[in-house]
Amino acid sequence: MIPRLKGTDDILPPESARWRKLLRVFDDMAERYGYDLALMPAIESTELFSRGVGETTEVVEKQMYTFEDQGGRSVTLRPEFTAGIVRSYIASGNQGLLKLAAAGPQFRYEQPQKGRRRQFFQVDLEYLGEAAPGADIEVIEFSYRLLESVGVDGIGVRLNSIGDAADRVAYRGLLQDYLRERQSAISQDAQRRIESNPLRVLDSKADAEVVHDAPVPLDHLGPEAAAHFDQVRAGLDRLGVPYEIDPRLVRGLDYYNRTVFEFSATSFEAAQSSLGGGGRYDPLGELIGSKHPVAAVGVAMGCDRIVEAMAEPGGHRLDLYVVVADRDRTADAMEWVGRMRARGFKVDWDASASRSVKAQFKAANRFGAAAVAMVGGEWSDGVVSLKLLETGEERKVSVEEVEEWMKQR
């Protein structure tokens, strides 16, 4: 046996039922909110991420699956969607609005643990070409409703604004001074970051005590960023999306400005507990070579964590399992199954056309059918025997009545 790589998962039934539900709800909601589908490469030039996500971020410093391909180029398995999507937006010359939804695996070389995988799966929205706070409000509301719709309990939304790059010049100096004065009391990582990426120290758990009284970006917003943030808050209030301001929320990727946010849930507790996150990233386009600024905001939700926070989907996997009691009726049964499937019912049967009635009943139970329809001698009169598997109740009914019964369920 060749083992699975550490930090990767085979997602199979019964667990995959929750995945199917999550991906369906995401796809359906994205369509309803006006997001088109984007299918993106899983492999990109390394430079896209080092410049886009940021040279001094943990993702780029330590976690990338980077290698040289046979043509001698440095390539990287995507650790996230956003940089690739913005690359494609710029390349297509698209200067207008574009709302995209994407779903797929991401790769980060991390120490695997609960909810922290080396290959993990994100569903992602990017609202490109829009500077107004309405876009921020929409992606946050969408993410909240997505978690609600799949049955995640105790959803928490943390919200912050880190301001614009110009606001951060002065602020960065203040924070650096504050940290330098306490250099001996902070972690090695934090000391190293004072010069390279001081903002990241704000959400360092190891330095929580020192950081508690540090100056925060929220108190140093320029008037435009402050007004933007007020509008985001007012919009979320109006839509009934609860949130909590966390002035020390800064996120792990460098491309953000203004709004940043993260989701959690009481039903998912782990060292890394964020179910998703995102924010506005107006600087990203120019970081990766756009001549024009690209205003944009987006979110990525971590599916591996969300499914752990979801309850088992209730209900039956199949509406009906068709049991062939009279083997002369096998072809009729097959045709009937096909007709019901075409009408949208979830129906299965013994395609081997060889198992005993007993074995077929066993399969019906194993695959979670709500009922069994037995096709036997009375088929020529349009009659089958319908047995409800939960109650054991059994009656002779017409084929039409079976379909009517499924419709009513």
Cβ pair 406, 336 in contact under 8 A = no
Contact characters 76-115, ligand HAM, x per CB under 6 A: ----xxx-------------------------x-x----x
- Give the nearer residue to ligand HAM in terms of CB position, either 120 or 361: 120
**What residues between 252 and 271 interact with ligand HAM by CB under 6 A?**
252-253
Max CA separation in the chain (angstroms) = 90
Interface residue with ligand HAM among 77, 199, 302, 402 (CB under 6 A) is: 302
Question: Judged by CB under 6 A, does residue 299 bind ligand HAM?
Answer: yes
Interface residue with ligand HAM among 98, 275, 370, 375 (CB under 6 A) is: 275
Interface residue with ligand HAM among 156, 277, 283, 285 (CB under 6 A) is: 277
* Strand, coil or helix: 312: coil
Cβ pair 347, 316 in contact under 8 A = no
Query: 123 has which bridge partners?
Result: 103, 301
Interface residue with ligand HAM among 117, 158, 220, 329 (CB under 6 A) is: 117
**What residues between 126 and 155 interact with ligand HAM by CB under 6 A?**
126
- Give the nearer residue to ligand HAM in terms of CB position, either 7 or 215: 7
* Strand, coil or helix: 100: strand
Interface residue with ligand HAM among 50, 76, 78, 124 (CB under 6 A) is: 124
Question: Judged by CB under 6 A, does residue 304 bind ligand HAM?
Answer: yes
Give dist(CA 66, CA 328) in Å, integer.
Answer: 60
Cβ pair 160, 119 in contact under 8 A = no
Interface residue with ligand HAM among 19, 246, 298, 399 (CB under 6 A) is: 298
Report the relative pairing of strands 394-398 and 98-107 from DSSP bridges: unpaired
Q: What is each CA distance from 213 to 177, 200, 247, 251, 389, in whole angstroms?
A: 13, 15, 11, 19, 62
Q: Give the nearest distance from C-beta 334 to ligand HAM in angstroms.
A: 43
Q: Which stretch in 74-82, 236-244, 345-353, 400-408 sits in contact with ligand HAM by CB under 6 A? A: 74-82
Instruction: Give the residue closest to ligand HAM by C-beta.
Output: 302
Q: What is each CA distance from 101 to 48, 152, 209, 398, in whole angstroms?
A: 20, 21, 39, 45
Question: Judged by CB under 6 A, does residue 122 bind ligand HAM?
Answer: yes
Question: Judged by CB under 6 A, does residue 281 bind ligand HAM?
Answer: yes
Question: Judged by CB under 6 A, does residue 285 bind ligand HAM?
Answer: no
Give dist(CA 136, CA 161) in Å, integer.
Answer: 11
The size of the interface with ligand HAM (CB under 6 A), counted in residues, is 27
Cβ pair 191, 287 in contact under 8 A = no
Give dist(CA 128, CA 83) in Å, integer.
Answer: 12
Which residues of the shown chain bind ligand HAM in the complex (CB under 6 A)? 80-82, 108, 110, 115-117, 120, 122, 124, 126, 252-253, 274-279, 281, 298-300, 302, 304-305
